Structure 1
Amino acid sequence: MTTSLPPLIPRPRSPERGTRTPWRSLRHGAMRWWSAANLVSNVGTWMQLTVQNLLVLHITGSAATTGLSLSVQAAPGLLMGLLGGAAVDAWPRKLTAAVSQAVLGLVAFVTAALVAFDLLNVVSLMVLAAVTGLVATVDAPACALLGNDLVPPDDVPSAIALGSVVSSAGRLIGVACAGVAVGTLGTASAYAVNGLSFLCVAAVIPFLRPHPGAATATGPPTARRDRFSGAGARDGLGFFVKRPRLVALTVITAVSAVFGRNYGLTLAVLVTGPLAGSSEDFGTVATVLAVGGIAGAVLAGRMQRPSVRMVGALAAAGALLQALAGLSPGLIPLLVLVAPMAVAESVSDTAGTTVLQTDPPPGMRGRVLGVWRTAETAWGLAGPPLLGLLMEWAGPRGALVTGGLIIAAVIVAGALVHARRTASRRVPATVAPVGPAAAERAAAPVPHEDLSPIG
């Protein structure tokens, strides 16, 4: 007699108290299974990441080649992101997510075998990196949207915030487990555990059932297949660039990523340089940043309908705190500033992710995420060199202050432009009515036009 998991069909729930609690997405059984599987997956991922760069550096003997391997893995996101998103819109989401997770697990197992038998070389390393990056162009949007399908729309911010908390917890556990596993079983064990974690997610996916109130992509198979084409990918790009709130979200996120957020570099140099601290002192700063990020994710879980305006306001607040952090006279003032900075940026990130994943119509969301992945890869590759140049020119304090002010200035300028455009749309044309008929027409009700501001 065989046993299996029961279908995870969510039960309808009536409105009740506590619907704004950060953990409300866990009321749904499918989300509980999904979160547990993702915790396991994140533990495995961070076990692998903990040893990966050192292993690659050991094999190649070159920091430049190590960097090249990272670029090879990122390149598919830049070049194939649009097609990956189109595939998510065209193919059944659960099947897509399950297959992509299984393939990533296979890649991890192959890497583990090559490491165990000392067969991993530069060529195989580059091939595996390229395959991983290619599969990720489909896996990332498929898994993100699958998680959103498990809860009603009002609970999507809670689901995204929960995912952030799960990711942070998985990172802490994975880094700790990596040291134990590598010390006892060798480097290959980290890759093997990661492979098992991918299979864990793939095994849970077939039992998940979308929430009845979730907005999911529909349409006949032929229409879905049409989305996976060059024309379908271009449709996604066209929708994206014509959607002002998505363009505004892209600008906010891009400028924040390029001129801020790289605290592993800027704050590390600030603490160990001008503040004359030690590596242990930077570890304390990093811990405060991590705790603030988790607290921000929990706080963000209370949101129901975040807006681009909220994303911009919180990003600007975090940027101004970053500028103040650059002026810190000592470690204690720095810690006082980075805690709320991390909270503001975490809430902003969760709000932005919610807007990105829920604003497009269901049949377009995969392609929108594909466009986003392409743009995100571009600024992810361009950001570190630009920040490095800024630090060489202005030093760590100047980089933090200048970067924070640039972010805030861009957001404020965008808000002013948007406010001016909105005001101009609301000013009625002044035409003097002539005669009773004109007066009657002027008094007639005007059809409603949606003039609501972005967000």
Structure 2
Amino acid sequence: MPSSPLSATPASRTAPASRSPWRSLRHRGMRWWSAANFVSNAGTWMQLTVQNLLVLHITGSAAATGLSMSVQAAPALFVSLLGGAAVDRWPRKLTVSVSQALLGAVAFTTALLVALDRIDMTSLLVLAAVTGVIATVDGPACSLLGNDLVPVEDVPSAIGVGALVHSAGRLAGTALAGVTVALLGTGAAYAANGLSFLFVAAVVPFLRPVRGAVERPAAEPRAVPERAELSVREGLAYFVRRPRLMALAGITGISSVFGRNYGLTLAVLVTGPLAGGAGSFGTVSTVLAVGGILGAVLGARLRRPSVRTVGLLAAAGGLLQAVAGLSPSLAVLLVLVLPMAVVESVSDTAGTAVLQTDPPAHLRGRVLGVWSSVGTVWSLGGPPLLGLLMQGAGARGALVAGGLLIAASVGAGLLLRRRGGLLPVSALPAADGEVTGRAALGTAA
């Protein structure tokens, strides 16, 4: 009987080791998954582009627009741990298919309300909250399903390709939004997003994991007791007791708060000390986007990224940020912004690969749930803290102080590890999915 057209070919299983950033696309399932994600990302950005305009049209308030975005993000702070536990408990492909179908239903509901002129702020907030809750399951499930389609050494490539697909989908969705609204109306953008979710749900059943992937082995689902498999506390305990994950969280956290928020810091620097305008900041934003794409390609070449790699890249990015804060002109800033964006993008790819492959297979959903909750804290708390720093030290001072703080923190962490302050990686449990939850927790303590 012929194999599924989306299953891995024998050639892909025996291909020699490659550092090509596109190596994950050798696997048919990954090619289809990337195509589905492009369609989904284009639909999502089409909806996001018109959603803020819709809120402004209904309320005339910028504050209300911010509120709708916060309501959609808030579930990630409170429900992500439960969402991660659900991903560990339920069959992955079924979970993705159902969550995508539910997200499509929300989009179609919104489209119908807009078409009937029955949409108001209350219904928009409710639908945004429902979307946020579903996303706490859909996000980690989609990430882990993508990893199932490639061997573990190709996970960085899959993540890099995913970043490129996201960028391409964003560009396509933003461009299509204006055309769609002009020709068919606002509701059509929501309907198109609903169709994009259904397309992903239709592709998922035909995807086949490859040999050597990081998916949960067939014999493992019952390897831990059923009640433990649903335990949020077990995933949280594993994360806290795993030194490399705590180090990754620390590096990412300090980088997120004191760096990376370039939409805020560089905007103030360009329009303030460098005396530029909106056009100048647009040029800086374009260079940042190009650097992010280049960084995703370079990150996809990684084979075995480590927390040390993430730390060194974060330190390099911090030093570049500090120098950028001293830029005497826009031209000098543009020269520095490109490598800043490249380093940040490679670091993101390396960190995501570590996060998605380090935990035992039956804990990966819960670990991603913990990460989502922590990341939401950073995204909500970072800009206000950085704003206070800028208010006191100015844009240049915030960039310089933040960059030096990132580099110094990473340097101090590496020094502590070298002196034995942290357990060496070799002393930690293997992340091969064959260690039971209690054994992993016990040896990581």
Q: Normalization by structure 2: what TM-score?
A: 0.91
Closer, same or farther in 2 for the Cα pair 1:57/1:22, shift >3 Å?
Answer: same
Closer, same or farther in 2 for the Cα pair 1:7/1:454, shift >3 Å?
Answer: closer
**C-alpha deviation, 1:220, in angstroms:** 4.6
**For residue 264 of structure 2, what is the aligned residue in structure 1?**
265
**For residue 7 of structure 2, what is the aligned residue in structure 1?**
9
1:197 counterpart SS class = helix
**For residue 226 of structure 1, what is the aligned residue in structure 2?**
227
Report the number of matched residues: 426
Q: In the alignment, residue 280 of structure 1 is paired with which amino acid?
A: G
| Identity value in percent | 67
Find the aligned partners of 1:17 and 1:79 in 2 and give their Cα distance. Answer: 44
Instruction: Report if aligned partners of 2:229, 2:362 keep a CA contact under 8 Å in 1.
Output: no
User: Residues 53-452 of structure 1: matches in 2 within 5 Å?
Assistant: 53-218=52-217, 219-220=220-221, 223=224, 225-227=226-228, 229=230, 232-421=231-420, 450-451=426-427
Range moving further from structure 2, 287-296 or 212-221: 212-221
Q: In the alignment, residue 242 of structure 2 is paired with which amino acid?
A: R
Q: In the alignment, residue 256 of structure 1 is paired with which amino acid?
A: S
Range moving further from structure 2, 60-69 or 384-393: 60-69
CA RMSD for the aligned pairs?
2.2
Instruction: Report if aligned partners of 1:88, 1:367 keep a CA contact under 8 Å in 2.
Output: yes
**C-alpha deviation, 1:66, in angstroms:** 2.4
Q: Normalization by structure 1: what TM-score?
A: 0.89
List runs of 5+ in structure 1 lacking aligned partners. Answer: 427-448
Closer, same or farther in 2 for the Cα pair 1:113/1:452, shift >3 Å?
Answer: closer
**For residue 442 of structure 2, what is the aligned residue in structure 1?**
none
Closer, same or farther in 2 for the Cα pair 1:116/1:221, shift >3 Å?
Answer: farther
> CA offsets, 1:180-214, max 9 Å, x none?
11122222222111111111111100000111211
**C-alpha deviation, 1:54, in angstroms:** 2.3
Find the aligned partners of 1:319 and 1:171 in 2 and give their Cα distance. Answer: 27
**C-alpha deviation, 1:61, in angstroms:** 2.9
**C-alpha deviation, 1:228, in angstroms:** 5.5
**For residue 443 of structure 1, what is the aligned residue in structure 2?**
none
Instruction: Report if aligned partners of 1:422, 1:453 keep a CA contact under 8 Å in 2.
Output: no
Instruction: Report if aligned partners of 2:221, 2:362 keep a CA contact under 8 Å in 1.
Output: no
**For residue 435 of structure 2, what is the aligned residue in structure 1?**
none
**C-alpha deviation, 1:421, in angstroms:** 1.5
Find the aligned partners of 1:347 and 1:453 in 2 and give their Cα distance. Answer: 26
1:421 counterpart SS class = coil
Bigger Rg over Cα: 1
> CA offsets, 1:112-139, max 9 Å, x none?
1112222111211111111011000000
Instruction: Report if aligned partners of 1:59, 1:122 keep a CA contact under 8 Å in 2.
Output: yes
**For residue 429 of structure 1, what is the aligned residue in structure 2?**
none
**For residue 51 of structure 1, what is the aligned residue in structure 2?**
50
Closer, same or farther in 2 for the Cα pair 1:239/1:18, shift >3 Å?
Answer: closer
List runs of 5+ in structure 2 lacking aligned partners. Answer: 432-445
Q: In the alignment, residue 168 of structure 1 is paired with which amino acid?
A: S
Find the aligned partners of 2:86 and 2:286 in 1 and give their Cα distance. Answer: 39
Q: In the alignment, residue 9 of structure 2 is paired with which amino acid?
A: R
Range moving further from structure 2, 272-281 or 76-85: 272-281
